Amino acid sequence: MAGGVATASARQRAATKGRALLSARAVERLCWLALAALIALYVVAYSSKTIAAYATGQTLFDLATFEQGFWNATQGTLFFYSLEGELSRFGRHFSPIFFLLLPLYALHRDPSTLLVLQSLALGLAAVPLYLVARGRLGPLAALPVAALYLANPAVHDVNTVNEFHEIAFATPLLFLAFYAVERRRPWLYAAAVVGALLVKEDVALVTAALGLYVFLVARWRRAGLATVAGSVVWFLVVVEVVMPALRGRYGPVPFPGYEYLGEGPFGIARGMLADPGALWGVLTAESKRWYLFWMLAPVAGLPLLAPEVLLIAAPGLLLILASTYPPTFAIFERYAAPIVPFVFLAAVVGIDRVRRRAGGAGPARGRRGADNGAIVTAVLILVMGGATLLAQDALGKYPARLLTPARPDPHAATAIAFARAIPERASVVIEDHRWLAHAAHRRGLYFLSGDSPAADYLLLDRKVAPVTNVRAGARERAVRRLLDDQGYVHLRCEDGVSLYARPEAHRRDGPLFAPYAWARDRDDRFGDRLRLRGYTAAADGRSLAVTLYWEALRPPDGADYTVALRLLDPQGRPLAERTARPQDGACGTAFWQTGQVVRDPHHLPIDAPLAPGDHTLRIEVLRQDGGALGAATVPVTIPPR
Give me the residue spans of the domains in the chain: 2-395, 414-512, 520-638
As beta bridge partners, residue 194 has: none
Res 7 pLDDT > 90: no
Pick from 120-124, 206-210, 554-558, 611-615: least confident: 554-558
Instruction: Name the DSSP class of 104.
Output: H
- Residue pair 97/199 in contact (Cβ under 8 Å)? The answer is yes
Q: Which residues, at least 6 apart from 227, have a Cβ–Cβ distance to it below 8 Å?
A: 193, 207, 208, 210, 211, 214, 215
Where does the pLDDT of residue 345 fall: very low under 50, low under 70, confident under 90, or very high at 90 and above? very high
Q: Quote the pLDDT of residue 317.
A: 94
pTM of the model: 0.89
Residue 121 confidence (pLDDT): 97
Residue 179 has a pLDDT of 98
Q: Contact at 8 Å (CB) between 323 and 255?
A: no
Q: What is the pLDDT of residues 423-435, one digit of tens each?
A: 999 999 999 999 9
DSSP per residue, 520-537: EEEEEEETTTEEEEEEEE
**3-state SS class at 492:** strand
Q: Which of 7-21, 505-519, 615-629 has the lowest mean pLDDT?
A: 7-21
pLDDT (0 to 100) of residue 252: 87
Residue 444: per-residue pLDDT? 94
Give exposure, 427-452, as e/b (b: 16+ Cβ within 10 Å). Answer: bbbbbbbbbbbbbbbbbbbbbbbeeb
Q: Is residue 24's pLDDT more than 80?
A: no
Q: Quick one: pLDDT at residue 77?
A: 94
Q: What is the pLDDT of residue 205?
A: 96
Cβ atoms of 344 and 129 closer than 8 Å: yes
Please compute the mean of the pLDDT values over residues 227-244 and round it to a whole number: 96
Greater confidence (153 vs 639) lies with 153
- Helix/strand number for the chain, H first, E second: 22, 15
Q: Where are the beta strands (DSSP E) in 296-435?
A: 428-430
CA separation for the pair 519, 304 (Å, rounded): 73
* CA 537/CA 525 separation, integer angstroms: 19
The count of other CB atoms within 10 Å of the CB of residue 481 is: 13
- Residue pair 441/113 in contact (Cβ under 8 Å)? The answer is no
Query: Would you call 13 exposed, middle or buried from its count of C-beta atoms within 10 A (0-12, 13-18, 19+)?
Result: exposed
Average pLDDT, the chain: 90
If DSSP codes are grouped into helix, strand and coil, which group holds residue 429? strand
According to the model, what pLDDT value does residue 365 have? Answer: 58
Query: Quick one: DSSP state of residue 240?
Result: I
**Contact indicator for 261, 322 with CB cutoff of 8 Å:** yes
By DSSP bridging, strand 80-81 and strand 87-88 are antiparallel
Q: Which long-range contacts (CB under 8 A, 24 or more apart) does 273-281 make?
A: 279/322
Residue range 41-64: mean pLDDT, rounded: 93
Q: Cα(204)–Cα(207) distance, rounded to whole angstroms?
A: 5
pLDDT grade for 241, boundaries at 50, 70 and 90: very high
Q: Look at residues 176, 197, 198 and name the one whose alpha carbon lies nearest to residue 187.
A: 176
Q: Are strands 457-461 and 497-501 parallel, antiparallel or unpaired?
A: antiparallel
Distance CA 120, CA 624 (A): 57
Class of domain 520-638: mainly beta
| Residues 109-119 pLDDT 10s | 999 999 999 99
Task: Please report the pLDDT score of residue 21 as a whole number.
Answer: 53
Q: What is the pLDDT of residue 367?
A: 66
What are 543-573's pLDDT values in tens digits?
889 999 999 988 766 788 999 999 988 888 8
User: What phi, psi does 625 have (nearest 5°)?
Assistant: -85, 0
When pLDDT is cut at 50, 70 and 90, the band that residue 51 belongs to is very high
Given a contact cutoff of 8 angstroms between Cβ atoms, the answer to whether 300 and 383 are in contact is yes
Q: Residues 90, 79: contact at Cβ < 8 Å? A: yes
- Does residue 429 contact residue 79 with C-beta atoms inside 8 Å? no
For the chain, helix, strand, coil in percent to 5 are 55, 15, 30
